[in-house]
């Protein structure tokens, strides 16, 4: 009997591939030089210490070699990338004040609707600048700060100076150094001690310009016994030139605090997505990552959690979907530094039409992490013989008093499963689709579908059965 195969349509990208004419009011020259860095800093009216930080990061960028592992990123040429693009208009707190063309783009993506129905605060970035930002008054009254990162640098300079790129220092790797030199835009969130933000905050990043880079910086600080759910979405139209995304996310979860960070990355197929995300979790704190990687030509994304305090916990849930022309290298990292820390990593990857999906993880248990527990579960589904899936877990365990588990499965849709479902009266095409939906369901249900319209568009994949 000929093997049954399931055909899964690519994500419908028509909505995201709509591109606007380039009406930016300012761009730097292409490339990466000290003059360009000084130009960016001058445009943003950086304080002197930030300019110094940018220039030092630029030096490190040229000193650090490209990584010799992972996907091929040789197509990336920084001499062709514009690192700063300022769209027309100034940041607005009233949606009606946003320039019509930009407003229409975010309207199509559902951002204003999401704000009206389900969000306590929302920020929207277009190219290199935040164009809209608003937070509900009751949060401000509780002392919650949610603003764009440039405003934070000027209005909350002492806090920014204390935390900025301390978790992800420029010396970490070449693209962290690049980010330190050219960062622009992003979000700043500060939740005071004991405050619980019951309704999520959302930031949305849209890159419209061709041949450009986006380098937003997100800094979130949750003080003792506070809680927050933060949602991030990203998209870009497709061009025939390489675009670059090298953002940075730093999350500080203090004692007894809880932070859920949900992100959907749906970049276009010409995007190099080289993003860095890291959380520091103190005693009794919890970081929950919910991560979806659907777009981009190449992705390198491994959110990391440093469990610094006793009983600190990490929950990571991720789904990656790689299709034709995509090499998505994703996973998670956990460093366990304190006693009785725990981590649970649960991922699903799907590959079709020659796409390549790699799960890459690193778990480090230090001698001081006695009583630590960690479970890693990664499952992969190949939908044809042209596609590829790899699982590359690394575990470095330096104490005997630990419970560690790892499960990895790579498979195809079985004839037995199809037979079982069809014998119950379900059509073969629907049976195949049900199996794929069931495969991603543990991850999909963790995504905040009720909050962001765009996320519904990504998760509701169109499943069509076919004979192959």
In which domain, by residue range, is 163 found?
Answer: 13-301+413-419
Structure tokens at 433: 């689709």
pLDDT interval class at 250 (50, 70, 90): very high
Strand pairing class (298-301; 271-274) = parallel
Domain-embedded: residue 328: no
How far are the Cα atoms of 33, 80, 117 from residue 60, in angstroms, in the given order?
13, 20, 44
Mean pLDDT of 212-217: 80
Domain-embedded: residue 374: no
pLDDT interval class at 308 (50, 70, 90): very high
- Higher per-residue confidence, 248 vs 451: 248
Which own/partner contact pairs does 430-437 have at CB distance under 8 Å and 24+ positions apart?
430/465, 431/465, 432/4, 432/6, 432/463, 432/465, 433/6, 433/463, 433/464, 433/465, 435/6, 436/6, 436/8, 436/350, 436/381, 436/383, 436/461, 436/463, 437/461, 437/463
Domain-embedded: residue 198: yes
Residue count of the chain, please give it.
Answer: 468
Report the distance separating Cα 271 and Cα 248, nearest Å: 16
Per-residue burial over 169-191, b if 16 or more Cβ lie within 10 Å, else e, is ebebbbbbbbbbbbbbbbbbbbb
Domain-embedded: residue 93: yes
pLDDT in tens, 193-208: 999 988 777 776 555 5
DSSP E strand boundaries for 17-175: 26-27, 85-86, 121-126, 129-135, 145-148
How far are the Cα atoms of 261, 263, 271, 291 from residue 232, in angstroms, in the given order?
8, 5, 18, 10
- Higher per-residue confidence, 287 vs 263: 287
pLDDT for the residue numbered 125: 45
pLDDT in tens, 331-348: 999 999 999 999 999 998
CA 407 to chain centre: 24
Report the distance separating Cα 212 and Cα 125, nearest Å: 14
pLDDT in tens, 98-156: 555 545 555 555 554 544 444 444 545 444 444 344 555 667 788 889 888 888 999 99
Domain-embedded: residue 318: no
How many domains does the chain contain in total?
1
**pLDDT value at 180 more than 70:** yes
Domain-embedded: residue 376: no
Report the distance separating Cα 115 and Cα 432, nearest Å: 36
pLDDT interval class at 234 (50, 70, 90): low
Domain-embedded: residue 399: no
Domain-embedded: residue 357: no
> Which position has the token pair 């629907």?
430
pLDDT in tens, 359-407: 999 999 999 999 999 999 998 888 778 889 898 989 999 999 999 998 8
The pTM (predicted TM-score) of the whole model is 0.83
Highest mean pLDDT of the ranges 112-116, 118-122, 233-237, 272-276:
272-276
- Give the number of C-alpha atoms closer than 13 A to the C-alpha of residue 407, restricted to the C-beta side: 9
DSSP letter at 2? P
Residue pair 12/457 in contact by the 8 Å Cβ criterion: yes
């Amino acid at each position: 009997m000929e093997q049954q195969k399931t055909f899964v349509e690519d994500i419908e990208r028509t909505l995201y591939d709509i591109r606007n004419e380039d009406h930016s009011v300012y761009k730097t020259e292409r490339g990466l030089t000290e003059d360009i860095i000084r130009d960016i800093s001058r445009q943003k009216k950086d304080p002197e210490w930030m300019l110094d930080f940018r220039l030092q990061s630029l030096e490190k960028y040229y000193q650090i070699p490209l990584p010799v592992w992972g996907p091929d990123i040789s197509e990336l040429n920084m001499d062709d990338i514009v690192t700063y693009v300022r769209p027309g208009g100034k940041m607005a707190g009233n949606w009606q004040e946003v320039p019509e063309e930009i407003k229409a783009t975010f309207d199509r993506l559902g951002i204003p609707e999401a704000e009206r129905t389900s969000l306590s605060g929302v920020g929207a970035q277009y190219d290199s600048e935040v164009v809209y930002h608003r937070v509900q008054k009751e949060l401000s009254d509780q002392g919650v700060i949610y603003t764009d990162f440039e405003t934070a640098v000027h209005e909350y300079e002492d806090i920014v100076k204390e935390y900025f790129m301390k978790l992800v220092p420029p010396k970490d790797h070449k693209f962290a150094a690049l980010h330190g030199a050219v960062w622009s835009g992003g979000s700043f969130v500060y939740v005071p001690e004991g405050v619980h933000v019951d309704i999520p905050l959302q930031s949305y990043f849209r890159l419209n310009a061709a041949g450009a880079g986006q380098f937003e910086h997100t800094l979130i600080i949750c003080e003792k016994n506070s809680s927050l759910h933060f949602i991030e979405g990203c998209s870009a139209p497709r061009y025939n030139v390489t675009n670059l995304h090298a953002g940075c996310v730093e999350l500080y979860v203090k004692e007894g605090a809880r932070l859920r960070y949900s992100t959907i990355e749906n970049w276009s197929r010409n995007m190099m997505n080289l993003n860095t995300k890291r959380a520091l979790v103190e005693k009794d704190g919890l970081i929950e990552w919910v991560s979806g990687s659907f777009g981009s030509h190449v992705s390198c994304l491994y959110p990391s959690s440093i469990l610094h305090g006793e009983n600190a916990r990490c929950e990571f849930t991720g789904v990656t979907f790689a299709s034709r022309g995509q090499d998505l290298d994703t996973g998670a990292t956990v460093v366990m530094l304190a006693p009785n820390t725990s981590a649970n990593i649960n991922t699903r990857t799907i590959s079709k039409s020659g796409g390549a999906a790699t799960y890459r993880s690193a778990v480090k248990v230090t001698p001081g992490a006695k009583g630590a527990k960690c479970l890693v579960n990664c499952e992969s589904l190949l939908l044809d013989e042209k596609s590829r899936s790899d699982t590359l877990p690394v575990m470095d365990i330096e104490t005997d008093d630990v419970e560690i588990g790892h499960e990895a499965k790579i498979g195809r849709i079985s004839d037995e499963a199809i037979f079982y479902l069809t014998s119950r009266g379900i059509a073969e095409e629907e049976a195949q689709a049900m199996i794929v939906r069931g495969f991603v369901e543990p991850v999909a249900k963790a995504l905040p579908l009720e909050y962001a319209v765009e996320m519904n568009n990504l998760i509701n994949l169109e499943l069509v059965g076919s004979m192959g």
